Amino acid sequence: MTDAVQTLTIVMAQMTQAVGDLAANADAMRSVRARHPEADLILYPEFQLIGYPPEDLVLKPALAERAAIMLAELALETGDGGPAMLVGSVERDGADLYNIVALLDGGKIVATRRKHELPNYGTFDEKRIFVPGPLPDVVDWRGIKLGLPICEDGWLPKVCRHLADQGAELLISVNGSPYEIDKDERRLTQVFASRVAETGLPLIFLNRIGGQDEIVFDGCSFVLNADGTTAHRLTDWEEEERETRWTKDGAGWTCAPGAIAEWEAHPADIYSAMIVSLRDYVTRNRFPGVVLGLSGGIDSAICAAIAADALGPDKVWCVMLPSRFTSQASLDDAAGCAELVGCKLDTIPIVPAVEAFDTMLAGSFADVDVDITEENVQSRIRGVTLMALSNKFGPMLLTTGNKSEMSVGYATIYGDMAGGYNPLKDAYKMTVFAVAKWRNENVPRLSRNPVAPVMPETIITKPPSAELRPDQKDEDSLPPYPDLDRMLHMLVEEEASVDDVVAKYGFDRDAVVRIERLLMLAEYKRRQAPPGVKLSTRNFGRDRRYPITHGFRTG
């Protein structure tokens, strides 16, 4: 940077994180800085020092204490004359906790700013943990007036307007913005384009990548000039360090044009979300791989493909668990899927265990008709068997139920719901079909298993069935999945009433009433389901927190 402060090099570090591992996060930031010694400023995502979201972990006093020590150490390191650093962290002031960014330069912390707008919706509950900071002042750094809105501060107009009124020359928004379908374009073309239009200032939007439990971050960082044009778009789903070069004239700061990454369209972006979330969950929890039941159906087949893409096929163990109701077609399809994916496949028939349970329960079940109980026993035997393999050999058990099934309770608690993670937890059945069709014809950019197709076409085209009784089909007890998903999307994502659904689609009212009833009754199952990646605006869990026991119905 010249003495006249007419040029500026800012590095955007679109990074992953490790929640709670301050030393690893600090070392990763040091490595970025070492790779860009000629830069003026390096930007890191929101809360990069401690990881995001920290949830109640941040309430431990020791975490804030160690974060303060680590931040001071990082600040001292900037005394070498190299780049300044903008670092997201936590700050304790008495009993109050704040979400902050700290500007480190010249061997010290030259400024901190506290997040003003605390999100309290969907996956966010920051008001429960943090105290809002005041409307932030601009930071005068090397003669430049910086506005530093932290994530939600930039999603609403007040903070950016205030910073502009204070004379800010450049807005830098560091974020921890989780993936949702269509959110990448909404951030760019609606939310932050509006901040630029309202303030007349250029803006840097920096986001992280990587999975953290049920949420996943897609990156998709960008730079907007004051005229609203896009100067840079960073890659989605991958770490990237982008040098941006700025010049100042009488009209203010302008960023020189750079690479404009093409962000993935549907359903490729959904598939990438599943890959990244599963990969980070398995590796960060130190599992050697995964095991799953491969039934010959579409849900388990696409889960096997996702797992192989995320981890490599050598870390995926599929197990076929046939009963006397399992068709030869399912056996053939499961074998064909495992061969195409390239993963290990074992077969463990459950017939002896089913017969043993029949004998055990014969006295108690005497003179009582066979019903769904016996079907559920089969599912639970499969769950016990797969968990035994997981316990004995170490791989994490994947569950494979989709959001349509979990919405209406079409899953067996302690059976097919048993496991550690579910890539399809927030994917409706029609989304599963779309993803499977796409994956059979494409190799994902992030794949560690670059093969296609990954399943026999018959898996996609045959009618879905749990195969727990003769000639069983899902549509014996559920509406056709295209209709069911339309009902559920309105009831779950839009919180619509039965009458709203009937008015929009013309479905039989009794059918919608039944689906709403099943949706409400299945809440207790969903509370006991494993985590799975969030894809929609209303995933089961953090986004949608219904009571288990209640009597309200709209139909």
Q: What would the pLDDT profile of 420-430 be if each residue is shown by its tens digit?
A: 999 999 999 99
Q: What contacts 54, CB < 8 A, 6 or more positions away?
A: 19, 20, 47, 63, 90
pLDDT higher than threshold 80 for residue 470 = no
Same domain, 313 and 404: yes
Query: Are the CB atoms for 66 and 108 separated by under 8 Å?
Result: no
- Alpha-carbon distance of 112 to 37, in angstroms, equals 23
Instruction: Determine the Cα–Cα distance for residues 296 and 544; give it in Å rounded to an integer.
Output: 32
Nearest alpha-carbon partner for 226 in 191, 187, 249, 193: 193
On whether both 227 and 290 belong to a single domain, the answer is no
pLDDT at residue 545, rounded to an integer: 87
Averaged over 98-115, what is the pLDDT? 98
Average pLDDT over residues 308-327: 96
pLDDT recorded at residue 1? 47
Count of domains observed in the chain: 2
pLDDT of the residue at 237: 98
Contacts of 253 (CB under 8 A, 6+ apart): 8, 144, 169, 170, 202, 226, 246, 247
Cα–Cα dist 391/368, whole Å? 35
Is residue 543's pLDDT more than 90?
A: no
- Residue 435 CA to residue 259 CA, distance in Å, equals 29
Both 277 and 205 in one domain: the answer is no
Give residue-wise pLDDT tens across range 264-301.
999 999 999 999 999 999 999 999 999 999 999 999 99
User: Is residue 521 domain-resident?
Assistant: no
Torsions phi, psi for 218 (to 5 deg): -105, 0
- What are the Cα distances from residue 181, in Å, to 156, 266, 427? 20, 8, 11
Same domain, 369 and 404: yes
Residue 2's pLDDT band (boundaries 50, 70, 90)?
very low
Residue 117 has pLDDT above 80, yes or no: yes
Same-domain check for residues 71 and 219: yes
72 contact partners, CB below 8 Å, separation of at least 6: 109
> Which residue, of 208, 231, 255, is where some domain finishes?
255
Q: What is the mean pLDDT of the chain?
A: 95
Query: What was the pLDDT predicted at 92?
Result: 96
Based on the domain organization, do 284 and 200 belong to the same domain?
A: no
Task: Kindly state the average pLDDT of the residues 529-534.
Answer: 96
Domain boundary (198, 220, 255) is at 255
Distance in angstroms (rounded) separating the CA atoms of residues 413 and 404? 16
Which residues span the domain enclosing 65? 7-255
Taking the C-alpha atoms of residue 298 and residue 460, their distance in angstroms, rounded to an integer, is 6
Asked whether 406 and 419 are in contact (CB, 8 A), the reply is: no
Does residue 328 carry a pLDDT above 80?
Answer: yes
pLDDT cut 90: percent of the chain above it: 92
Cβ pair 387, 418 in contact under 8 A: yes
For the stretch 497-524, pLDDT in tens is: 999 999 999 999 999 999 999 999 999 9
Q: For residues 249 and 279, state if they share a domain.
A: no
Cα 460 to Cα 299, 302, 435, 513, distances in angstroms = 10, 10, 10, 30
Confidence of residue 471 (pLDDT cuts 50, 70, 90): confident
Residue 473: per-residue pLDDT: 74
Indicate whether 324 and 386 sit together in one domain.
Answer: yes
User: Are 90 and 219 within one domain?
Assistant: yes
Say if 414 falls within a structural domain: yes
CATH of the domain at 320: 3.40.50.620
DSSP H helical segments within 1-119, as ranges?
Answer: 22-35, 61-77
Determine, yes or no, domain membership for 228.
yes
Which residues are marked as active site?
A: 46, 115, 151
Model pLDDT, residue 467 = 64
pLDDT tens per residue, range 206-247: 999 999 999 999 999 999 999 999 999 999 999 999 999 999
Read off the CATH number of the domain in which 141 is found. 3.60.110.10
**Ramachandran region of residue 65, left (φ > 0), alpha (ψ -120 to 50) or beta?**
alpha
Give yes or no: residues 227 and 311 share one domain.
Answer: no
Percent of the chain with pLDDT over 70: 98
Task: Please indicate, yes or no, if residue 261 is contained in any of the structural domains.
Answer: no
What is the structure's pLDDT at 4?
Answer: 53
Give the bridge partners for 242, in sequence order: 12
Q: Which SS3 state, helix, strand or coil, does residue 254 take?
A: strand
Residue 419 lies in a domain: yes
